[in-house]
Amino acid sequence: MADLLDTFNVAASGLAAERLRVQTIATNLANAHTTRTEEGGPYQRRVPVFKASQLDVFGNELDRAVSSVQVEGISVDPRPPQRVYDPSHPDAGPDGFVLMPDINVMQEMVDLMSANRTYEANAAAVEATRDMALRALDIGR
Amino acid sequence: MAGNGISLFDGLHQGLERALDLRRSQHILTAGNLANANTPGYRAKELPFDEMLTSEIAAVERGESARDIQARELEPAPWSLDGNSVNAEREAVKLTENTVLYNALAMGASRRLQMLRFAASDGKG
């Protein structure tokens, strides 16, 4: 049976997932102009993939409805690189164009705000759970 | 049990216990919804407290113990691009509401036990 302490685990999974999202966004922004990578070619945008994972497979119907979040992996955005005209760039081709990562700073900033707010919401869930658990301990006092 | 007037832990006590139980279940569902706020295709889940009240009252009147409650899944809005139906504002409000009600119930249970203790100690407790 899922108890109040399980709620901490669910909220913690949300906190970890959102933190990973912020890290991924920071990586994308940091590498917005990276033209050289280990795999060769310009940096490609990374996207974390989340999956809902059932907390208690053997519980009753209600327990089985509870899901924490699990990071399935980090996928690579397949969008093609941008062609930017900059003949002075060391990685420019003979036609003067450089292949740059197609990172949309606006999109990353919006994602960052969304991750930030969801992180806060999960932190609020932790606080509310603590509040409830402490109040439950007061029963009969 | 209720009605004979001498039972120590009567229907009110069971009711409080049951309500605390359901509020806890709702709380963990809300936490799960918030954790999956960015999981594509995830459906927000909640306890149908409005529907439950009538069915629970009917069950108690028939003398049955409360049945297994099923969570209700919320449909995503038509404009939800990834099929996720978590509404962060809604969940935040539910979280606060649920915490307040849980705390109120816990306080109720506590007061009830205080009354019993008061009676058990001849009114000196």
Tell me how close the Cα of A133 comes to any Cα of chain B, in angstroms: 9
Determine the Cα–Cα distance for residues B66 and A24; give it in Å rounded to an integer. 47
Judged against a pLDDT cut of 50, whether residue B1 lies above it is answered with no
Mean pLDDT (chain A, rounded): 91
Among A10, A47, A63, A120, most B C-beta atoms within 10 A, so best to mutate, is A10
Judged against a pLDDT cut of 60, whether residue B4 lies above it is answered with no
The tens digit of pLDDT for each residue in B11-59 reads: 788 888 888 988 999 999 999 999 999 999 999 999 988 787 777 777 7
Among B21, B36, B52, B96, most A C-beta atoms within 10 A, so best to mutate, is B36
Cβ neighbours of B11 (radius 10 Å): 12
Cβ neighbours of A57 (radius 10 Å): 8
